[in-house]
Amino acid sequence: MKGKADYYWRKSKEEGYPARSVFKLQEIQEKYRPLGPGNRVLDLGASPGSWSLYILDMLAGAGRVVGVDLNPPDDKLASRRNYCFLQGDFTTGNRTLDTARSAEIARNVLAICDTCLAPGGNCVLKIFQGGEEKEILDRMRGRFAAARAFKPKASRSESMETYFLGLGFTGRPGPG
């Protein structure tokens, strides 16, 4: 139930993570391995920082994480080696509006991939179901060797969120 402390929320606190979302990334990592030693990771919408903390722990000092969010990280994350924070936002911070704009946000993430992601790189993005999922997944399939949708167990059953994974960036698709 929304608003209640559930299993994943309690577990996140016990393990020192600020949010339950860490277990979504953990499951994605266990199944698909989008992250590896020495990776450089851009965490867009990084607040409250669970994904960045998990990635830094996983990278064990090799690689780098750049977090971007309107809200600055807490001291636990800000003081971590190999972490850089850029204050800015590409969403409104309004859940209702961001859900409605989910496909647009996903398109923006793919545009960032087109200009910043190295060949062979991977992308994990969250999208809220709203009817444009197929178009976004097709766009990912045009840029990555493999692309798929995935709903982690840590996602609440009533949540309309789905994660899209793009593995093996091949580059920006040509015209047409």
Same domain, 85 and 27: yes
For the residues 118-125, what does the mean pLDDT come to?
95
* Tokens standing for residue 104: 């647009």
Residue 176 belongs to some domain of the structure: no
Same domain, 1 and 39: yes
Residue 118 belongs to some domain of the structure: yes
* Tokens standing for residue 3: 């608003």
Residue 12 belongs to some domain of the structure: yes
The catalytically annotated residue of 24, 126, 134, 151 is 126
Q: Which residue segment(s) compose the domain that 136 sits in?
A: 103-171
For the residues 121-126, what does the mean pLDDT come to?
95
**pLDDT above 60 for 1:** no
For the residues 74-83, what does the mean pLDDT come to?
87
Total structural domains within the chain:
2
In the chain, where does DSSP find H-type helix? Answer: 7-14, 22-32, 50-59, 75-78, 95-100, 102-116, 133-141
For the residues 110-139, what does the mean pLDDT come to?
92
Rounded to 10 deg, the angle between the 133-141 and 102-116 helix axes is: 10
Annotated active-site residue 126? The verdict is yes
Return the sign of the alpha-carbon dihedral for residues 89, 90, 92, 93. Answer: negative
For the residues 152-163, what does the mean pLDDT come to?
88
